[in-house]
Amino acid sequence: MAELSPVHHRVAAILHPHVWHQHSPWQVRTWLADCLRAGLVLIPPLEGWRAALIAADVVVGDHGAVTCYAAAMGKPVVLAAFDEDEVVAGTSVALLGELAPRLDPHQPLLPQLDVTSGYEPVRELVTSFPFRAAELHRELFYRKLGLSEPDSHLVQPLLPSDGLSPGSGPQALLVSGTAERLRLRAADVRPAMTGDCFLAVHTDHPVRSLRTNADVLFGTVSDEELAGVLDRTPSSLIAVSETTGVALVRGHSPVRILGNDRVVGACALHAWLSAHPNDLPATLDVDVNGRAYRFALPSLR
């Protein structure tokens, strides 16, 4: 959570149900509170893990079944931990331990996630009849019950999404760089401000010290509320509405930020004003964690 860009990456955590039951949901969420504020999606203990695996671009796991299923689905897998003493030799999990790369916590994370799939031998041990599990299990159950199998089609409902939260997204950002090249990190999990950087914080962020020291404030507020937002935080230079894109800039005329991400646009504008305090640009082209953005900033006066 501290290293990956909160703008370009989404992290979901799947914990074993025993972790929830041993320590309680309250304790789990308390331990992970800073990560949750930084955008972590915490998957509930009973349902949601299958949907998370389907959505995943890469899975960082251990010797548990979920990691093995991810590999069997063809997902790129990196092992953060693997307890050989708990794994039975000759199983699909044991084979995964032989094939998958290991995460090195002392090296940068992102390059280690650039892995490919290639776990066909694991999939072959997980199932010899891909996509036929429901069909074969129904036949087996009816045979064991001594009943005739019905002629009706198999019912395979869509995976439920009830109780799944998409996460709040990043609520506080540490921003460094220039108006042409910015680097964003989640402030909740990396609170130390080192070097030349500034804070962009949601107006409803629960950590007061971050909120009151924000250089950029953002939130789903109306245009009429923006002036009050800026007045309540004297240290802030910019307040922007994520709903309308209107930004109030202290000492300048208000502008509307037009582009893909209004918070990123406000951060780019702050970086620009740090170098050109008396000049509001009409457009901004900025690279954010390796991704290009373009913003137009028409004046509203």
Which runs of E-coded beta strand occur in the chain? Answer: 12-13, 41-42, 59-61, 77-79, 172-177, 181-186, 197-202, 216-219, 238-241, 246-249, 255-256, 283-288, 291-296
Alpha-carbon distance of 137 to 133, in angstroms, equals 6
- pLDDT band for position 239 (cuts 50, 70, 90): very high
pLDDT tens profile 37-71: 888 999 998 888 999 999 999 999 999 999 999 99
DSSP string for 202-227: ETT-S-HHHHHT-SEEEES--HHHHH
What pLDDT was estimated at residue 170? 67
What pLDDT was estimated at residue 169? 65
pLDDT of 163 over the 70 cut: no
Alpha-carbon distance of 255 to 168, in angstroms, equals 26
Which of 44-48, 154-158, 197-201 is predicted with the least confidence, judged by mean pLDDT? 154-158
pLDDT tens profile 276-295: 999 899 999 999 988 999 99
Which of 36-50, 75-89, 151-165 is predicted with the least confidence, judged by mean pLDDT? 151-165
What pLDDT was estimated at residue 168? 65
Of 243, 255, 260, 256, nearest to 203 by C-alpha is 243
CA distances from 61 to 1, 16, 25, 38, 102 (A): 15, 11, 21, 21, 10
* Share above pLDDT 90 across residues of the chain, in percent, rounded to a whole number: 64
- pLDDT band for position 162 (cuts 50, 70, 90): low
Mean pLDDT of 161-167: 68
- pLDDT band for position 30 (cuts 50, 70, 90): very high
pLDDT of 16 over the 80 cut: yes
Handedness of CA 50, 51, 52, 53 (dihedral sign): positive
pLDDT of 266 over the 90 cut: yes
Mean pLDDT of 144-154: 91
Mean pLDDT of 174-199: 85
What pLDDT was estimated at residue 246? 95
- pLDDT band for position 260 (cuts 50, 70, 90): confident
What pLDDT was estimated at residue 155? 79
Of 221, 268, 233, 273, nearest to 251 by C-alpha is 273
pLDDT of 193 over the 80 cut: no
Mean pLDDT of 159-185: 81
Q: What is the phi/psi pair of residue 99, to 5°?
A: -95, -35
Q: Which residue has the higher pLDDT, 5 or 58?
A: 58
pLDDT of 74 over the 70 cut: yes
**Mean model confidence pLDDT for the chain:** 90
pTM (whole model) above 0.75:
yes
